Structure 1
Amino acid sequence: MIEKKKVVGLIVFSLWMGILVGGIEVVFGKVLIQVTEWRLSYFSYLIFLLPLAGLLIEFIYTRFGGISRQGMGLIFDVGHGEQKDIPLRLIPIVMFSTWLTHLFGGSAGREGVAVQIGGALSHFFSKGKLAKYLPTENMSKIALITGMAAGFSGLFQTPIAAILFALEVLVVGRLEMKAMLSASIASFTAFFVSSYLGLEKFSFHVQEKMSLDPFLIAKLVALGIVFGLVGRLFSLTLAKSKKLMQKVWRNSYYRIFFGGIIVALLIFLLHGGRYAGLGTNLIVEGLTGESIYPYDFILKLILTIFTLSIGFQGGEVTPLFAIGCSLGVILAPVVGLPIEVVGALGYIAVFGSGTNTFLAPILIGGEVFGYQLLPLFFITMSVAYCCNNNQSIYGKQKIA
């Protein structure tokens, strides 16, 4: 009877986390959309205030952040049992810092914020008065994964991919199946809340239907190799760049201020803000047949790495989507495949390689582009995953 009550408690807890996290993700996402619109309207003025915004971000983290500064690293530490607590102040700090980064033109993503919000909230509530109604075994990790799934789903509105991402990302080669029930409930609940409250979802249904044959498989293998190596390049360069920036500017205020000046100048001079923000402009332009330059993917890669290495906040996933999609659009004529198909393959495979995940990218492809491409996603992602050599943007990810 006690265990049954605890299963019911876990279900109620998961529903509550889905509602709460989904609601917060809507606030975060809608404000992010608004600040992006402001940046687009006043870009020439705002971009040169990026270094000052960096100083404010650094002050907030130095003065109030504490261990919250570790960001996703803290989430992974708690998931591995190496840290016990995630301070709730992490949530407003990372949200506000990410808004500032995007408002003033930094090149960064948003998924790290979403996952941190969900993980912090779920972990916090699992240790409070609700703890007596929840299972005791592995509950800390289960709660964390539950929140991570809700956070990813609430922002991206891809509930199935969110579940698998949360289950597989902490330890490569191992699915945390004990969290399947709670993660699934929280993920779908956050998805419904987010959808009901009107947060925009990116989707692009690819009309092409393709039958597998040896020639197509050979092309998919070649594309998987390229996308896998680009994802690996991103994660390797990000790790090395963070260490290098800490050596070049040991003072964190100097690092974000002078680095911010360089980022602002580069983003201003390189097509007037084309590489600022998330990179969704590159995705939309690529998939709808507008102009994509052969160097778009590498400039977005470099500027995102530089932005994050000097201390600005956000995430890496949406830029990875943009890098992969814009590269795919350029490669499509080379391999003789439709632009939207190869763009979609790049979108999921560079993300999968960069995060060292396998199942989530395949499913996010289905949820964003349509399940008719699932065999193509599987083959390309299988090759890309093998080519990344277990490199990941998440430095504290472990190997089973």
Structure 2
Amino acid sequence: MKTSLPTGEARDTLRDFTADRRMLMLCAMALVTGTFGALAAWALVKLIALCTNFAYFHVISTTTTYLTHARLGPGSVFIPVAGGILVGLIARYGSKKIRGHGIPEALDSILTGASRIEPKVAFWKPLSSAIAIGTGGPFGAEGPIIMTGGALASLFAQFFRLSAPERKTLLAAGAAAGMTGIFGTPIAAVLLAIEVLLFEWKPRSFVPVTVSVIVAIAWRPWLVGPWPLFPHAGLPAMPWWGLGLCAGVGVVAGLQSALTTAALYRCEELYEKLPIHWMWWPALGGIIVGLGGLIDPAALGIGYDTIDALIHGSVLMHAAIALLFVKSIIWLASLSSGTAGGTLAPLLLMGGAAGAIEAHVLPCGNGGLWALIAMAAVLGGTLRCPLTATLFAVELTGDLRVLPAVAIACAASFAVTVMLMRRSILT
């Protein structure tokens, strides 16, 4: 004979017990982490501009400047070397945790550090990243801001009596807010937090992270600038049969991602064999960066102007080839040295350059469309976050029409990389 539970008890067994009053408390705290993330993004953008203008143009200014069309002489080779020396000194005597591109370090704090980050990381990480990028390092600001936003949120959380999962939620909320502050991509930032940092989609984490990025995107027009970052609605619609080409571009992007990841691991192994202290590795990487800048200045620095040019289809074939090879070489040499900088913008640049080259043999679309599809696919495959990469491309341009094409390419790239590589660039 069956015994049925009272209606109230039956409903209670189906309840998600991760959602309670403490989730509302985390949402209130996320208002603070979102503000911290936006302010940190503003500060990092200004620091990078200050270092770039001082190092290359010998002026003190926080106006954003790019190096694409800069006239660099032989002496410019020593600028990234000097930046590498400063970053190495900060890593050795300030905090070793500033080494790397930010996301693995944030992930390590979550997995092994109970989501606790030291106060000095919140200071040294943005400073060292601004020096590295401002002196020509081929990085983006997003990795450092993810670590900095997460560090500030972690410090804020440590003032309260919170559990490790609750601190993890606020750390991810701060990281996502920082990414939103830089790129103006709130949905992609939430997905990145879920796919890369939280590994869960529960109300206790999803709702506070969402609150945090909404606060950050509200602050962004006042602090950083309008969004989308690369507004462009002129991308041609993709015919139905072109979706198969998108899958092909995704496969190529997956191969590019796997090759890039393998090359990065190999470069790290080579640095490990050097008979000198790791403090000097960023300076050695700076030599290669400086030489690469003489060949193609567009490969230096943060490169958002070049991403915009790729999406608008204004990068010529020979320029795309030079950008792809120079950017790949200097990025691998520099990142593997343990310097500070982000990976998202370089992956977008390398993928976009490959897409611009592929556009010359594809029967439909234009250079801008295939550059956008390829840059999203390389990002999704290399970081193994296809959902994030798909929405990231849409939010960067504000063009929803590219969603099916980008989704197919990201899925294909992701499938290739997981089949070929046991580890991602984050592990």
After TM superposition, the score normalised by the length of structure 1 is 0.88
Q: Which stretch shifts more, 33-42 or 75-84?
A: 33-42
Report the 3-state secondary structure (helix = DSSP H, G, I; strand = E; otherwise coil) of the residue aligned with 2:320.
Answer: coil
| Pairwise CA RMSD | 2.4
Match of 1:383 among 405, 409, 412: 412
Q: How does 1:187-202 map to 2 (within 5 A)?
A: 187-199=213-225, 201=227, 202=229
Letter in 2 for 1:196: W
Q: 1:97 aligns with which of 122, 125, 128?
A: 128
Which of 338, 344, 366 is the equivalent residue of 2:366?
A: 338
CA distance in 2, matches of 1:206, 1:231: 28
Which has the greater radius of gyration?
2
How far 1:171 moved relative to its partner?
6.8
Deviations 1:59-89 (A, max 9, x none): 1111121445465433112222455521121
**Contact 1:39 / 1:46 at 8 angstroms: preserved in 2?**
no
Q: 2:172 is matched with which residue?
A: 145
- Structure-2 separation of matches of 1:305 and 1:205: 30
- SS of 1:388's partner is helix
Instruction: Give me the whole-angstrom Cα distance separating, in 2, the residues matched to 1:185 and 1:126.
Output: 16
User: Counterparts in 2 of 1:180-329, with a 5 A limit?
Assistant: 180-199=206-225, 201=227, 202-213=229-240, 215-268=241-294, 270-271=295-296, 273-288=297-312, 289-291=314-316, 292-329=319-356
CA distance in 2, matches of 1:209, 1:258: 44
The farther-off stretch of 234-243 and 177-186 is 234-243
Q: Residue 52 of structure 1: CA displacement?
A: 2.5
What is the CA-CA distance between 1:260 and the residue it aligns to?
2.3
4+ runs deviating over 3 angstroms: 33-47, 66-74, 81-84, 174-178, 198-201
What is the count of residue pairs matched by the alignment? 385
Q: Secondary structure at the match of 2:332?
A: helix
Report the residue type matching 2:302 in the other structure.
L
Partners of 2:84 and 2:339 within 8 A in 1: yes
Contact 1:109 1:317 in 2 (8 A): yes
Shift of 1:356: 0.9
Q: Mark the CA change 1:338 to 1:356 in structure 2 (over 3 Å): closer, same or farther.
A: same
- Number of the residue aligned with 1:54: 84
8 Å CA contact 2:172, 2:198 repeated in 1: no
Residues 180, 126 of structure 1: CA spacing in aligned structure 2 closer, same or farther, 3 A cutoff?
Answer: same
Matched-pair contact (CA < 8 Å) for 2:88–2:280: no
Give the direction of change, closer, same or farther, for the CA distance of 1:380–1:366 in structure 2 (3 Å limit). Answer: same
Aligned counterpart, 1:110: 141
CA offset at residue 205 of structure 1? 1.5
Tell me if structure 2 keeps the 8 A contact 1:123–1:140: yes
The one-letter code of the counterpart of 1:222 is: G
Q: Partner amino acid for 2:109?
A: V
Report the Cα offset of residue 5 of structure 1.
4.8
Which residue of the other structure, out of 102, 119, 127, is the alignment partner of 2:158? 127
The 3 A distance-change label for structure 1 pair 176 and 353 is: farther
Which amino acid in structure 2 is aligned with residue 388 of structure 1? T
SS in 1 for 2:85: helix
Q: Work out the CA distance in 2 between the residues paired with 1:249 and 1:309.
A: 16
User: Aligned partner of 2:425: which letter?
Assistant: I
Instruction: Find the aligned partners of 1:204 and 1:324 in 2 and give their Cα distance.
Output: 19
- Percent of matched pairs sharing the same residue: 23
- Does the CA contact (< 8 Å) of 2:88 and 2:282 recur in 1? yes
CA contact (8 A) 1:47 1:105 kept: no
Q: How far apart, CA to CA, are the structure 1 residues paired with 2:94 and 2:114?
A: 19
CA distance in 1, matches of 2:375, 2:284: 32
Measured in 2, the distance between the counterparts of 1:309 and 1:368 equals: 28
Q: Give the letter aligned to residue 116 of structure 1.
A: M
Report SS of the residue matched to 1:394: coil
Question: AA paired with 2:168?
Answer: K
Quote the offset at 1:309 in angstroms.
1.5
Is the 1:157–1:195 contact (alpha carbons within 8 Å) kept by the matching residues of 2?
Answer: no
Deviations 1:282-329 (A, max 9, x none): 323333324333242132111111111223211111010111111111
Find the counterpart in structure 2 of residue 392 from structure 1.
424
Rate the CA distance shift 1:171–1:224 in 2: closer, same or farther, 3 A.
farther
Q: Which runs of 5+ in 2 are unaligned?
A: 1-18, 59-71
Q: For residues 178-224 of structure 1, what are the alpha-carbon distances to aligned partners after superposition, in whole Å with 9 as ceiling and x for unaligned?
A: 411011000111111122224365213232342542x3122111101
Q: Which moved more, 1:48-57 or 1:249-258?
A: 249-258
Q: CA deviation at 1:249?
A: 4.4
Change (3 A) 1:167 1:211: same
Q: Which amino acid aligns with 1:169?
A: V
Answer whether contact 1:224 1:384 (CA < 8 A) is retained.
Answer: yes
Letter in 2 for 1:361: A
5+ residue gaps in structure 1? 396-400
- Check whether the contact 2:91–2:97 (CA below 8 A) recurs between aligned residues: no
